[in-house]
């Protein structure tokens, strides 16, 4: 394992280090903002970005992917912090958050050990497109508070509607535009240095040189701090605590794994490589156990920062490690300098991430794909923005599965004929499952059929227990009419699971299929 890690660190060190520096700069306002959303101190978000980013970069299943504190988790964490504060006092909220993050990590490790990461294959393409588009919109909306003033109470203007105006707004938009222009056009001339890093440095130098009155990182909060120290969450280890944190931990784990595994898929497509989903589940879990034990708010994969990293040339583990270590260096020693970086430069970079993340081709294909796929795409995008990622993906998968079931319920068919011996042959075609059993039962006529009837399953597949029950039901009707029923080409598992019709099955070891009913033997 150490040899593989060393090989990954030495593949493209220059590009990985520069992209890691770019990502570290972009992580700061995000981590601080998400800490505010969760209702905890900014350093709690920064520590999470450092620790989760470092651990997943070292042992995760997707080199080049960036993890840290995320908004998808923060918007749920605020409810736990508020509830624990209401029950046990002002200082208890963050401690119960740490405890829930540790438990979240153990749940994610368990999911990885059970190889549940493979179920990301169940997410259809329309859901993936909806996830990407919805997340791009969320990233865009997360930047809008930066276009609002920062009140003395430390609350963003969206709480009071206090938007920037006049020269401040002009300077902010101008700096954002310059950052986006440099990020977009510089790669046409050189790719030696990440264009996002050049844009941040250029805009920062101009702002500092002319002392322009525009918001800077230090206006968010001071990022200066010390090394995170080990301290188990200060909560009583009893049933009451578990009842409080377990539901939140399950939700945190689900959100974190779904966002991480989908981000793995997106980065796989961008880099034409393949990550290891189950390994990433374990890495995310280990990272959250450690983070919760060192005063961090936990986290998961960040698609925005991951895209910054990949587009800046960071493909190896060194890029994620470098991003985490640069961030730690900013916290320990570089805070006075980093706090002078204009917010507009970082917003401009994130706007470019939004443009790159959004699948603009989805507008073109909406009129070309089936209407139900277009509906799922739009639905997932909207639910991602309105609620959270986990709910959006679950809703999308359920709707897509229901549509699939409805469409395939229409595909069960039959061709019947009479052979030379006067036997009636029913040749089934299509899947037999809960959605098609009603149509299946209507295909037969036990009262009027001849004494010998053959139902052939060579071109049909029994998909679930409902299909087995339907076969048993048909068999019982033919037996009740005193007729001889022959069932051919059923799988061995079907033959074992059939109760009433089991002794009617004619076995053909050469032609009978070997599929499994509702079973997945793949890892």
Domains identified in the chain, total number: 2
Domain of residue 474, residue span: 410-506
Say yes or no: 118 and 260 in one domain.
yes
SS3 308: helix
pLDDT at position 501: 61
Do the domain assignments include residue 344? Answer: no
Say yes or no: 422 and 318 in one domain.
no
Do the domain assignments include residue 477? Answer: yes
Place of tokens 């865009």: 140
Cα 383 from Cα 403, distance rounded (Å)? 18
Say yes or no: 40 and 136 in one domain.
yes
Identify the domain boundary among 306, 339, 372. Answer: 339
pLDDT at position 326: 96
SS3 301: strand
Say yes or no: 328 and 455 in one domain.
no
Cα 464 from Cα 458, distance rounded (Å)? 17
Cα 73 from Cα 39, distance rounded (Å)? 12
Long-range contacts of 335-339 (CB under 8 A, 24+ apart): 335/222, 335/223, 335/224, 335/225, 336/224, 338/25, 338/28, 338/217, 338/223, 339/216, 339/217, 339/218, 339/222, 339/223
What is the tens place of the pLDDT at every residue in 367-418? 888 888 889 999 999 988 887 777 888 888 888 888 877 776 667 888 899 9
Q: What is the CATH number of the domain that holds 484?
A: 3.30.750.24
Residue 302 near residue 70 (C-beta atoms within 8 A)? yes
Structural tokens at position 72: 């998808």
Count Cβ atoms within 10 A of the Cβ of residue 391 and give its class: 0-12 exposed, 13-18 middle, 19 or more buried: middle
Please name the helix (run of DSSP H) or strand (run of DSSP E) that holds residue 484, with its range, or none.
Answer: strand 484-488
Length of the chain in residues, anyone? Answer: 523
Say yes or no: 237 and 144 in one domain.
yes
Identify the domain boundary among 279, 313, 339. Answer: 339
Cα 321 from Cα 68, distance rounded (Å)? 12
Say yes or no: 326 and 419 in one domain.
no
Residue 420 near residue 428 (C-beta atoms within 8 A)? no
Do the domain assignments include residue 164? Answer: no
Cα 369 from Cα 130, distance rounded (Å)? 14
pLDDT at position 151: 43
Structural tokens at position 343: 């917010």
Please state the φ and ψ torsions of residue 425, each to the nearest 5 degrees. Answer: -110, 120
DSSP letter at 334? I
Say yes or no: 133 and 239 in one domain.
yes
Do the domain assignments include residue 92? Answer: yes
Say yes or no: 45 and 142 in one domain.
yes
The DSSP bridge partners found for residue 224 are: none
Do the domain assignments include residue 209? Answer: no
pLDDT at position 152: 39
Please state the φ and ψ torsions of residue 210, each to the nearest 5 degrees. Answer: -100, 5
Say yes or no: 433 and 320 in one domain.
no
Do the domain assignments include residue 485? Answer: yes
Do the domain assignments include residue 374? Answer: no
DSSP letter at 295? T
Do the domain assignments include residue 281? Answer: yes
Say yes or no: 443 and 330 in one domain.
no
Q: Read off the pTM.
A: 0.77
Say yes or no: 422 and 317 in one domain.
no
Distances (CA, A) of 242 to 95, 315, 455: 13, 40, 55
Which residues of the chain are under the pLDDT cut of 50? 151-160, 509-510, 519-523
Say yes or no: 7 and 103 in one domain.
yes
What percentage of the chain reaches a pLDDT higher than 90? 43
Identify the domain boundary among 304, 339, 374. Answer: 339
DSSP letter at 276? -
């Amino acid at each position: 394992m150490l040899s593989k890690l060393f090989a990954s660190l030495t593949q493209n060190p220059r590009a990985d280090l520069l992209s890691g520096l770019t990502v570290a700069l972009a992580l700061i306002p995000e981590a601080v903002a998400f800490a505010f959303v969760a209702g905890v101190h900014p350093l709690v978000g920064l520590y999470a970005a450092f620790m989760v980013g470092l651990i997943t970069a070292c042992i995760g299943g997707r080199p080049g992917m960036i993890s840290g504190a995320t908004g998808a988790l923060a918007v749920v964490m605020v409810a736990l912090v508020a509830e624990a504060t209401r029950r046990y006092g002002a200082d208890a909220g963050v401690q119960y958050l740490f405890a829930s993050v540790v438990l979240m990590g153990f749940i994610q490790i368990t999911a990885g050990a059970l190889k549940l990461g493979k179920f990301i294959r169940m997410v259809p393409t329309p859901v993936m497109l909806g996830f990407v588009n919805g997340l791009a919109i969320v990233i865009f909306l997360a930047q809008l508070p930066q276009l609002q003033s920062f009140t003395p109470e430390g609350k963003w203007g969206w709480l009071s509607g206090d938007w920037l105006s006049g020269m401040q707004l002009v300077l902010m938009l101008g700096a954002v535009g310059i950052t986006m222009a440099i990020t977009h056009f510089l790669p046409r001339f050189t790719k030696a240095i990440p264009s996002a890093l050049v844009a941040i440095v250029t805009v920062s130098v101009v702002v500092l040189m002319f002392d322009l009155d525009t918001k800077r990182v230090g206006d968010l909060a001071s990022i200066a701090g010390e090394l995170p120290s080990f301290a188990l969450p200060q909560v009583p280890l009893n049933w009451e605590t578990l009842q409080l944190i377990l539901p939140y931990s399950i939700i945190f784990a689900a959100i974190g794994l779904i966002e991480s595994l989908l981000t793995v898929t997106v980065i796989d497509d961008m880099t034409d490589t393949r990550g290891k989903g189950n390994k990433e589940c374990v890495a995310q879990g280990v990272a959250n156990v450690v983070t919760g034990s060192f005063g961090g708010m936990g986290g998961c994969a960040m698609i925005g920062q991951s895209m910054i990293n990949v587009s800046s040339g960071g493909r190896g583990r060194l890029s994620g490690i470098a991003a985490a270590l640069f961030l730690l260096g900013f916290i320990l020693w570089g805070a006075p300098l980093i706090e002078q970086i204009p917010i507009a430069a970082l917003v401009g970079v994130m706007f470019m991430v939004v443009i790159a993340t959004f699948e603009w081709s989805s507008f073109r294909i909406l009129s070309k794909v089936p209407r139900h796929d277009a509906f799922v795409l739009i639905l997932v995008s909207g639910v991602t923005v309105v609620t959270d990622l986990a709910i959006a993906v679950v809703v999308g998968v359920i709707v897509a599965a229901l549509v699939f079931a409805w469409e395939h319920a229409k595909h069960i068919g039959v061709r019947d004929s009479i052979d030379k011996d006067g036997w009636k042959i029913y040749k089934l075609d299509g899947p037999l499952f809960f959605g098609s059993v009603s149509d299946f039962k209507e295909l037969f006529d036990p009262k009027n059929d001849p004494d010998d009837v053959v139902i052939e399953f060579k071109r049909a597949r029994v998909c679930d227990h409902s299909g087995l029950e339907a076969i048993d039901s048909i068999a019982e009707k033919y037996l009740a009419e005193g007729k001889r029923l022959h069932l051919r080409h059923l799988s061995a598992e079907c033959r074992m699971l059939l109760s009433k019709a089991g002794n009617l099955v004619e076995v053909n070891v050469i032609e009978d299929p070997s599929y499994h009913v509702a079973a997945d033997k793949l890892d």
